[in-house]
């Protein structure tokens, strides 16, 4: 019985991720059925943000549905995370953004664009504070999970999170050079395949492609690999942190 249950769970996980890939490849007829199938998951995820039961008539549900669709389009099975984990992050962040931008709070009608903070009802302020607190806690939890996943993936390259901290170039221009090299590795299929297969940089070939010396590449090797891992993965928070540099 346990084996059958495990098999069914594995099948379910594989099915949604396979369907996401098939939809991306043009099988759009699968999209409606997948959205219908996962409406309960979307409602539950949105409700956890709004702190109340959400129905399909709520605007927040529509935002969650759109976010789930975006997750299908953006999901990459090769990046390590499960589709459910990836879509949960996307849904929660989209709904939180919507709540904060539109002032959508239960039993409250306030024009956020024409009302000063000091004129807001105390209940509205309390709900706004609750949303802010929820966002901080949820972001902290998801960020911890993401760092754990990142740390685990670094182990495949014989690196630790501490290695990344120690190996980070001290000067901004050196960091930018290292990040630009990581972009080249990720965008060039031959380099990327080499990194994924060998778990090391193709330094000889890189030396002929980039404008920095072999010594510089080797000195920043750990940092470059770590940036490649981030670029290749579904690291929402790490990419946000590095947005200005990763582009």
Domain ranges of the chain: 2-145, 161-246
Distance CA 59, CA 63 (A): 6
Task: Check residue 132 and give its pLDDT.
Answer: 60
**Where does residue 223 rank: exposed (0-12), middle (13-18), buried (19+ CB within 10 A)?**
buried
Task: Check residue 114 and give its pLDDT.
Answer: 36
Task: Check residue 163 and give its pLDDT.
Answer: 80
Task: Check residue 119 and give its pLDDT.
Answer: 35
Task: Check residue 23 and give its pLDDT.
Answer: 87
Task: Check residue 106 and give its pLDDT.
Answer: 43
Task: Check residue 64 and give its pLDDT.
Answer: 92
Distance CA 150, CA 20 (A): 23
**What pTM does this model have?**
0.52
Distance CA 223, CA 67 (A): 32
79, 234 contact by CB (below 8 A): yes
Distance CA 221, CA 73 (A): 32
Residues of the chain with pLDDT under 70: 1-15, 79-81, 103-136, 138, 241-247
């Amino acid at each position: 019985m346990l084996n059958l249950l495990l098999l069914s769970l594995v099948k379910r996980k594989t099915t949604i991720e396979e369907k996401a890939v098939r939809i991306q490849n043009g099988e759009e007829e699968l999209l409606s059925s997948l959205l219908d199938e996962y409406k309960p998951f979307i409602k539950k995820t949105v409700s956890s943000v709004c702190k109340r039961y959400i129905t399909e008539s709520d605007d927040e549900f529509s935002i969650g549905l759109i976010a789930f669709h975006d997750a299908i389009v953006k999901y990459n099975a090769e990046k390590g995370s499960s589709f459910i984990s990836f879509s949960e992050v996307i849904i929660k962040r989209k709904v939180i953004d919507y709540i904060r931008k539109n002032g959508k709070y239960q039993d409250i009608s306030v024009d956020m664009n024409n009302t000063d903070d000091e004129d807001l009802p105390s209940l509205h302020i309390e709900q706004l504070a609750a949303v802010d607190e929820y966002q901080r806690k949820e972001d902290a939890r998801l960020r911890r999970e993401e760092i754990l996943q990142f740390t685990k993936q670094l182990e495949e390259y014989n690196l630790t999170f501490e290695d990344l901290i120690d190996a980070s170039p001290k000067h901004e221009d050196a960091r930018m050079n290292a990040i630009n090299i990581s972009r080249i590795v990720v965008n060039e299929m031959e380099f990327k395949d080499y990194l994924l297969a060998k778990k090391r940089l193709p330094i000889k070939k890189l030396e002929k492609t980039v404008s920095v010396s072999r010594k510089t590449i080797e000195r920043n090797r750990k940092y470059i690999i770590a940036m490649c891992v981030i670029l290749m993965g579904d690291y929402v928070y790490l990419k946000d942190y590095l947005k200005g540099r990763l582009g």
